Structure 1
Amino acid sequence: MSLILTLLFLANIITPSLLSECDLFLENKICEIKELVDSIENVPNELECQNACASNSNCGNFTWINFKTLPPTCYLYSGCENVTECFGECAYSLSGPLLDGVSWYPGTCCTKFNTGNVCEKNSNNILAGIPYIYDAASCQDLCQDTGLYPDCKYFIFDSKWSTCVLLSSCFGMDERENAVSGPVHPSINFCSELSPVLPTTSSTTTTTQSTTPSPGPKPVQSTALLLGGAETRNGSHIESSPCELKSFAELKVSKNTNPGAAVLNGEVYLCGGFADNYFISECYKNVPNDWAEVPPMYLERSSFSMNTIGGKILVAGGLGTTGYMNSMEIFDGTSWTLLSGELQMDRNIHCAVPISDHEIVFLGGSNFDKISLVDKYDLNTNTWENMTEMTSPRFSHACILKGTDIIVTGGYSDGYLNTTEALDTLSWTWSPLPDLQLSRSYHTMELVNDKIMVFGGSDAQNSSETFDGTAWTVETLAHKHIYHASVTVPCA
């Protein structure tokens, strides 16, 4: 079926009421086919479609349609007396006029975005909370993904916590610094600077102004920061990849193995571990060219998980003076609190991934034997839910969240592993991914500039690997890393 024929099936004609400049642009409405002048496939966005209309002397209105399976298409019309609804093959559409003196889309629609005042969120309108999102445009892109989040209408991006919250509605506003809130459309990239004014035509000359949208500010590039680790388990050095950072001093504690690390309020925290034959509880945060001691954890522990979630740091499990542990502690930037909730079982050398600002998933580990358990903990309700187990038990593996998938690499089962698999947090099903080039255990993994990277580990201590979506590529590190910790930080 042609794209034009597809439009013939879109019924329920209504007449739009044009009230303001922003209201001139109708979302999810399509001009009637009878006034069609031309159609152009593979037009990437609404602005390019409006530009095409400006370049066609017979065009007075345009409709841009983002189809579910067909290429995005621009339709040019002589007029637009009536419109039909966008549904079926149509995932999103925008219709608008071409009138002298009218601003280019999105024009005043950019006032729909708010900085410092964000949509109220509650249990009725939250669709998803996604960590490790580093700009508002990426957050909005998730909201626009109708395949993953068909009910998303608004988003909140919090730059302080690098989190994205997707909402089905927005009926009130809350004050929140460092946060941006807005609707699923228009694209926030179009609002990064003043939109150009629609050109006018004269009887002698016609000037077409470029409508290529400003790409907006470039996202800050990030790098992995590797903390300690060496073949002899006594490393105190720091290495960063792919950027070189010079503002981090050597670690205060040497000969420290299996510590934890996390970023809170833009500061790197390093806690716990095993040094000089003792389990330790000390914590440090980075300051320019040094590390400052901060309140220690309640309990000494190594081989535990340490994650930023909901604006706090959560540590869980590990190995301590009493053996395998199931306790959890939370740090608010000032002090630690020992939680009443506990892991469902003692476990260490496991991994954990936050999937919202109050939910965290724990995967695998060891407690005298390797574990395949995957369970989700809700900090708000202090409740557990068992999820689909890993396809094979493993410990000393690494995991991160990319989009809505939890990626798990390497570890140890009946030997050192190079296998990789992904857990879809929407369906809770596992899928295999291409194997690492090298087997790795006691390594770390980070999402760096939206690329998955693994660092060090047994059998591969002085190397990293980067996944391009198809295969892993090995690169050499300056130092050996094993039993280390890592975080992702800005290059600058």
Structure 2
Amino acid sequence: MNLFILILSSILCTSFAGRISKESGSEGALVIGGWESGVESYGCSINANKDLPTELRGASAAVHNGNVHVCGTWSQDFESYPDCRVLENGEWIAAPLQQVPKSYHRMNALGDKLISTGGYGVGNDRWLDTVEMFDGEQWEVSEFNLSVARTYHCSVAISDTELIMLGGQTSDGSILLVTLPNIELFEQGKGWTNIGALNPPRYGHACALLDNEIIVSGGSANYQLVEALNLETLEWRKLPNTKLRRWDHSMEVVNGQLQIFGGLWEPFSMEWFDGEEWHVEQLQFDHSYSTTAVLPCK
């Protein structure tokens, strides 16, 4: 009987290892905006008003000094705006605006600053090569523009002064848009250096830093493809595909676990990775054009 209990216990621990790590940690993911502009937390309860004061589509979020900042949006007339909000004591309040109106840009914490790269702008400046920095008081345009204007790229900070940006989409003035292969390193005070290429090029993908690898998922190259870029060797390895197609989605590492949220094809779902395969769960709102951030549980 004791042996049977021991075996059964081992089976249960193995079967539910992913779920236990997902639910028992000290942080969760906040899924912000999208087509319905709803806000929900995943993994644990997070103090955040579920109703945004403005629609936030194509926005980007990052945590600065313990607070989530979310910037950028587009309206149904397809114009981009510089709206920024900060989550303080569970409420969304107005925050300093970025200098350049944009959506589908990428925002990351970089040391004690926020960095915003690229995006889709307004008027004649639709494809942006702009880099902006936020010091806690205001946004300022950096002297270090992107090598190529782009949107639908992804980016991760690998230190307090370094950021890696991957892929994206741009225009060369013709009818057909250009998909970018560029992998570039930003060093604060130095600018951008090309360090490799995506093969094939892609846009609409998501990425996150886990251990010493950048995990890249979905996007235009293959909506379910997941790969990892080793930062020491700059070599790629393939991970199991996601269960569902993912494009213009977001990815976070929560309590050491990879989690993917929303996207144009599957806006009401998320997936989490147990180290061997992906598992699908449902979300409450339509997160077609949403963004995410990781925060401590309430």
**TM-score, normalization by structure 1:** 0.53
Q: Which residue of 1 aligns with 2:81?
A: 280
Q: Deviations over 1:385-407 (max 9, x none)?
A: 21221121111110000011000
For 1:390 and 1:228, the matched residues in 2 are separated by 29
Question: Is contact 2:38–2:286 with CA below 8 Å preserved after alignment?
Answer: no
Which residue number corresponds to residue 467 of structure 1?
273
Measure the CA separation in 2 of the matches of 1:418 and 1:330: 33
For residue 350 of structure 1, the aligned residue among 115, 135, 153 is 153
Q: Which runs of 4+ in 1 moved over 3 A?
A: none
Instruction: Determine if the alignment matches structure 1 residue 248 to structure 2 residue 49.
Output: yes
- Alpha-carbon distance in 1 for matches of 2:32, 2:43: 14
Q: Describe how 1:319-330 pairs up with structure 2 within 5 A.
A: 319-321=120-122, 322-330=125-133
- Following TM superposition, by how much is the alpha carbon of 1:244 offset from its aligned partner in structure 2, in angstroms? 2.7
Partner of 2:291: 485
> How big is each residue's C-alpha offset from its partner over 1:344-380, in whole Å with a ceiling of 9 and x where there is no partner?
1011010001111111110011002211111111113
Supply the distance in 2 between the matched residues of 1:333 and 1:469 (Cα, whole angstroms). Answer: 37
Match of 1:403 in 2: 211
Alignment of 1:17-166 (within 5 A): none
**For the residues of structure 1 that align with 2:245 and 2:180, how far apart are their CA atoms?**
19
In the other structure, the counterpart of 1:268 is 68
- Corresponding residue of 2:228: 422
Contact 2:46/2:295, CA 8 A, preserved across alignment = no
Deviations 1:97-124 (A, max 9, x none): xxxxxxxxxxxxxxxxxxxxxxxxxxxx
**1:310 aligned residue (111, 132, 138):** 111
User: Is it true that 1:454 corresponds to 2:260 in the alignment?
Assistant: yes
Does residue 375 of the first structure (1) align with residue 184 of the second (2)?
yes
**Counterparts of residues 211-250 of structure 1 (less than 5 Å):** 221-229=26-34, 233=35, 235-250=36-51
Question: Do the aligned partners of 2:259 and 2:271 also contact (CA within 8 Å) in 1?
Answer: yes
Alignment match, 2:57? 257
Distance (Å, rounded) in 2 between the aligned partners of 1:473 and 1:406: 20
CA distance in 1, matches of 2:158, 2:232: 11
Count of residue pairs the alignment pairs up: 266
**1:276 CA drift (Å):** 4.2
Find the residue that maps to 1:387 and give its secondary structure. Answer: strand
Contact 1:220 1:490 in 2 (8 A): no
Retained in 2: the 8 A contact 1:250–1:290?
A: no
Deviation at 1:448, TM superposition (A): 0.7
Does 316-325 or 274-283 show the bigger shift?
A: 274-283
1:300 aligns with 2:101: yes
Partner amino acid, structure 2, of 1:403: D
**Structure 1 residue 433 corresponds to structure 2 residue 234:** no
The higher relative CO (CA closer than 8 Å, separation ≥ 6) is in 2
SS at match of 2:101: coil
2: CA distance between counterparts of 1:464 and 1:339?
Answer: 35
- Work out the CA distance in 2 between the residues paired with 1:250 and 1:369: 36
- SS of 1:268's partner is strand
Q: Provide, for residues 72-114 of structure 1, a one-character-per-residue CA deviation record: whole Å limited to 9, x for no partner.
A: xxxxxxxxxxxxxxxxxxxxxxxxxxxxxxxxxxxxxxxxxxx
Whether contact under 8 Å (1:249, 1:291) holds in the other structure is no
Deviation string, structure 1 residues 272-299 (Cα, Å, up to 9, x no partner): 1112422111211012242111210000
Assess if the C-alpha contact under 8 Å between 1:442 and 1:457 holds in 2. yes
Q: Distance in 2 between matches of 1:301 and 1:380?
A: 24
Gaps of 5+ in 2: 1-23, 171-176
Check the 8 A contact 2:29/2:295 in 1, yes or no: yes
Alpha carbons 2:27, 2:297 under 8 Å: kept: yes
Structure number with larger C-alpha Rg: 1
**Distance change >3 Å, CA 247–CA 303, structure 1 → 2:** closer
Distance 1:276 1:437 in 2: 31
Instruction: Work out which of the residue numbers 352, 364, 368 in structure 1 matches 2:167.
Output: 364
